[in-house]
């Protein structure tokens, strides 16, 4: 047991989890062995994220390293569309309501927020009351008719398939039910990135989800899983946060406005300055970059974020050519 545990999650922490769950295990009449093995599997999943072995999350985190392999990331703020209240705490969004939607334009940083949050969770720096945090990506998924379908209890571990594919049917089924137990106790969080990439979403997917959930070994696609989670047909009770470019329509047409809705707030001038300071130490060159940015930021926050990795190269070229900005 000690060898399978994270160095930062001691055997005592595992024992504490066991004691916390003993009554729940007895109540559900589930074998203690299943609980222990499922806990180990989730801990291995957590370690895979922390040690950069989760393919999908790692690919998204690597996108933040556009300058000399240095990660450029700032914590973001969110605006509640209904109340106008601002929040800079992603945990507040996750725990305030079962389902929260975050809207932002293309390139605004939605993916970065989710991928950094789950990475921080794996390191024990965020969502500390969450035992398992799943990440589902909308892009490049089985949402087209010609794509092969995958069993629900395996596809739910998106980006971790290399490990999940080795689980037996009984193991995959057991841990899926354990995820539901965690969801019932508000210990499971699910992050869905890029709802727009799933294509047109309709109530048909809700109906499909309500059928497939009765048999987790049924084959399904990512769109059905995501819609089923949002509509609380699949793993009801889980804390869910999902992003997209037009989540208002999804909330009104699919979720009947039951989700909290937030806008990802634009970077401020202070944020721009902080990013420039991350990629350039020389004050003179910082000023040149910031002056160049004055014309860029007018094109929008998303444009700035998509192109920030090229600003420094452009500035260095300008300096080498004797230009002043």
Rg for the chain (alpha carbons), in Å?
22
Phi-psi bin for 133: left (phi > 0), alpha (psi -120 to 50), beta? beta
pLDDT value for 18: 67
Which residues of the chain fall below pLDDT 50? 1-3, 7-8, 140-145, 308-312, 314-325
Cα–Cα nearest to 280, from 313, 306, 305 = 313
According to the model, what pLDDT value does residue 151 have? 93
280 CB-side CA count, 13 A: 22
Residue 87 DSSP one-character state: E
Instruction: Please state the pTM of the whole predicted model.
Output: 0.82
Nearest residue to 4 via CA among 32, 35, 33, 46: 46
pLDDT of residue 24: 63
pLDDT at residue 101, rounded to an integer = 95
31: three-class secondary structure by DSSP = coil
Beta carbons of 110 and 264 less than 8 angstroms apart: yes
HSE-CB at 300 with a 13 A cutoff on CA atoms is 9
**Predicted pLDDT at 12:** 64
Looking at residue 144, what is its pLDDT?
44
Residue 3 tokens read as 């060898």
pLDDT in tens, 61-87: 888 887 677 888 888 999 999 899 999
Query: At a CB cut-off of 8 Å and minimum separation 6, what does 310 contact?
Result: 66
Give dist(CA 185, CA 150) in Å, integer.
27
Per-residue pLDDT of 109-124, as tens digits, reads 899 999 999 999 999 8
């Amino acid at each position: 047991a000690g060898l399978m545990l994270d160095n930062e999650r001691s055997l005592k922490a595992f024992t504490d989890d066991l004691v916390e769950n003993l009554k729940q295990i007895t109540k559900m009449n589930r074998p203690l062995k299943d609980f222990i093995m499922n806990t180990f599997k989730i801990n291995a999943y957590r370690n895979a994220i922390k040690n950069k072995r989760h393919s999908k999350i790692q690919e998204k985190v690597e996108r933040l390293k556009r300058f000399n392999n240095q990660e450029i990331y700032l914590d973001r703020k969110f605006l509640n569309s209904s109340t106008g209240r601002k929040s800079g705490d992603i945990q507040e969004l996750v725990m305030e309501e079962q389902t929260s939607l975050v809207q932002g334009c293309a390139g605004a940083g939605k993916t970065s927020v989710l991928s950094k949050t789950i990475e921080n969770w794996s390191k024990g720096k965020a969502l500390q009351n969450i035992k398992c945090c799943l990440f589902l990506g909308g892009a490049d998924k089985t949402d087209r008719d010609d794509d092969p379908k995958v069993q629900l209890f395996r596809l739910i571990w998106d980006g971790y398939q290399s490990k999940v594919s080795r689980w037996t049917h009984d193991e995959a089924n057991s841990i899926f039910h354990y995820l539901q137990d965690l969801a019932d106790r508000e210990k499971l969080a699910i992050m869905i990135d890029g709802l727009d990439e799933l294509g047109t979403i309709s109530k048909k997917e809700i109906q499909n989800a309500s059928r497939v959930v009765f048999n987790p070994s049924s084959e399904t696609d990512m769109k059905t899983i995501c819609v089923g989670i949002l509509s609380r047909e699949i793993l009801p009770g889980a804390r869910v946060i999902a992003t997209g470019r037009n989540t208002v329509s999804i909330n009104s047409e699919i979720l009947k406005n039951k989700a909290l809705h937030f806008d990802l707030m634009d970077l401020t001038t202070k944020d721009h300055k902080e990013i420039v300071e991350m990629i350039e130490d020389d004050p003179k060159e910082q000023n040149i970059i910031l002056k160049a940015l004055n014309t860029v930021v007018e094109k929008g926050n998303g444009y700035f974020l998509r192109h920030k990795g090229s600003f420094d190269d452009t500035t260095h070229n300008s300096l080498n050519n004797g230009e002043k900005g």
